[in-house]
C-alpha cells in the first residue's frame, strides 16, 4: 500500500470524540428519544461505548451531564474576578464576569436551546439549574462584598447588585433561548447589563486600604480659636 493511499485511508476514518463529549452527545440523544427520566446512566454509557467508571469520572450525576460546561465557566468567572484590580469599577467588573456565561451559551446555540427545552420539561433539572445560578450569584456577591467592605450597608449593596446582574443576564439569555437562538445573545445581554450599570455604577468605593467609616467631619463656628477646634475634634474621636 502506498503512503498516499494510507494517508487517504486515515483521513476517511471518523475521528472519535473525546469521552466527555461522547457522553454528553449520547445522553442528549437518549433524552430526546426516551425522555430524561426514562434514561439511565447505564443507557448513556452503553450508547457512548464506555464504562460506568468513565461516566462518573466526568460527571457526578445524571443531572451534571445536562450542564457539562458550568463548572468550567464558574472557575473562569472566579479567576476573572480574582484578577481584577482595586482600580477597576466593581459593578462593571461583575457585569463583565457575567458575560462569560452568555459566551458559553453562544458557543453552541443548538445545544443551548436543546438544553433549555429539556430543563423546562423536567422539574428536577429546573431545580438543579437554580442551584447553578445561585453559585454564579454567590461568586459575584463574594467579590462585591470584598470591594464594598467598610461601606455603610456594603454587604447589602453587594448582594443587591449581584442579584441584579444575574436577573438582567438571565432575562436576556432566556429571551434569546426562547427565540431558538435568533439574534445576537451577547448584544442582548449587554443591553440588559447596561441597566444595571446605570442603576448601580455610581456606588462609591473607598481606595484600597482606606476605611470610609474612619472619616470624621467636625463643624465649628467661623473664627473659633484653634484650641476649640482641636477640642471638638478630640471629642468627636472619643479621646479625652
Question: Which pLDDT belongs to residue 150?
Answer: 85
Question: Which pLDDT belongs to residue 142?
Answer: 97
| Structural contact between residues 91 and 201, judged by C-beta atoms closer than 8 angstroms | yes
| Structural contact between residues 200 and 144, judged by C-beta atoms closer than 8 angstroms | no
Q: Identify the CA nearest to 93 among candidates 151, 156, 142, 150.
A: 142
Question: Which pLDDT belongs to residue 218?
Answer: 53
Residue 30 predicted with pLDDT over 80? yes
- 144-181 burial string, b = 16+ CB within 10 Å, else e? bbebbeebeebeebbbbbbebbbebbbebbeebbeeeb
Q: How does pLDDT run across 71-121, given as a tens digit for each residue?
A: 999 999 999 999 998 889 999 999 999 999 999 999 999 999 999 999 999
Indicate the angle between helix axes 41-48 and 19-34, nearest 10 degrees.
120
What architecture does CATH give domain 67-200?
Orthogonal Bundle (1.10)
Number of other CB atoms surrounding residue 55 within 10 Å: 24
Question: Which pLDDT belongs to residue 11?
Answer: 44
- Whole-angstrom distance, CA of residue 148 vs CA of residue 141: 10
Name the pLDDT band for 205 (thresholds 50, 70, 90). Answer: low
Which part of the chain is CATH 1.10.10.60? 1-62
Fold of 1-62: Arc Repressor Mutant, subunit A (1.10.10)
Question: Which pLDDT belongs to residue 227?
Answer: 54
Residue 4 predicted with pLDDT over 60? no
Q: How does pLDDT run across 147-193, given as a tens digit for each residue?
A: 999 888 999 999 999 999 999 999 999 999 999 999 999 999 999 99
Q: What is the DSSP letter of 59?
A: -
- Of 15-29, 47-61, 63-77, which gets the smallest average pLDDT? 15-29
- Whole-angstrom distance, CA of residue 141 vs CA of residue 41: 35
Q: What is the mean pLDDT of the chain?
A: 85
- 193-228 burial string, b = 16+ CB within 10 Å, else e? beebbeebeebebbeeeeeeeeeeeeeeeeeeeeee
Question: Which pLDDT belongs to residue 9?
Answer: 42
Name the pLDDT band for 2 (thresholds 50, 70, 90). Answer: very low
The pLDDT > 90 percentage for the chain reads 70
Return the C-alpha cell found at 169: 443576564
Which part of the chain is CATH 1.10.357.10? 67-200
Amino acid at each position: 500500500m502506498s503512503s498516499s493511499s494510507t494517508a487517504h485511508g486515515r483521513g476517511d476514518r471518523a475521528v472519535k470524540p473525546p469521552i466527555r463529549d461522547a457522553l454528553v452527545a449520547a445522553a442528549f440523544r437518549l433524552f430526546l428519544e426516551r425522555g430524561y427520566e426514562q434514561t439511565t446512566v447505564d443507557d448513556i454509557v452503553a450508547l457512548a461505548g464506555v464504562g460506568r467508571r468513565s461516566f462518573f469520572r466526568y460527571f457526578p450525576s445524571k443531572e451534571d451531564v445536562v450542564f457539562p460546561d458550568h463548572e468550567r465557566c464558574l472557575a473562569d468567572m472566579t479567576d476573572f474576578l480574582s484578577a481584577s484590580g482595586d482600580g477597576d469599577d466593581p459593578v462593571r467588573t461583575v457585569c463583565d464576569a457575567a458575560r462569560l456565561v452568555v459566551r458559553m451559551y453562544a458557543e453552541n446555540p443548538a445545544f443551548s436551546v436543546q438544553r433549555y427545552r429539556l430543563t423546562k420539561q423536567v422539574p428536577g433539572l429546573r431545580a438543579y439549574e437554580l442551584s447553578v445560578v445561585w453559585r454564579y450569584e454567590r461568586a459575584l456577591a463574594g467579590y462585591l462584598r470584598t470591594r464594598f467592605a467598610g461601606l455603610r450597608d456594603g454587604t447589602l449593596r453587594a448582594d443587591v447588585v449581584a442579584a441584579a446582574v444575574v436577573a438582567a443576564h438571565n432575562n436576556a439569555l432566556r429571551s434569546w433561548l426562547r427565540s431558538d437562538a435568533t439574534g445576537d445573545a451577547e448584544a442582548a445581554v449587554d443591553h440588559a447589563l447596561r441597566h444595571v450599570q446605570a442603576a448601580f455604577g455610581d456606588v462609591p468605593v473607598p481606595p484600597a486600604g482606606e476605611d470610609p467609616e474612619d472619616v470624621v467631619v467636625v463643624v465649628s463656628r467661623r473664627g473659633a480659636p484653634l484650641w476649640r477646634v482641636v477640642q471638638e475634634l478630640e471629642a468627636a474621636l472619643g479621646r479625652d
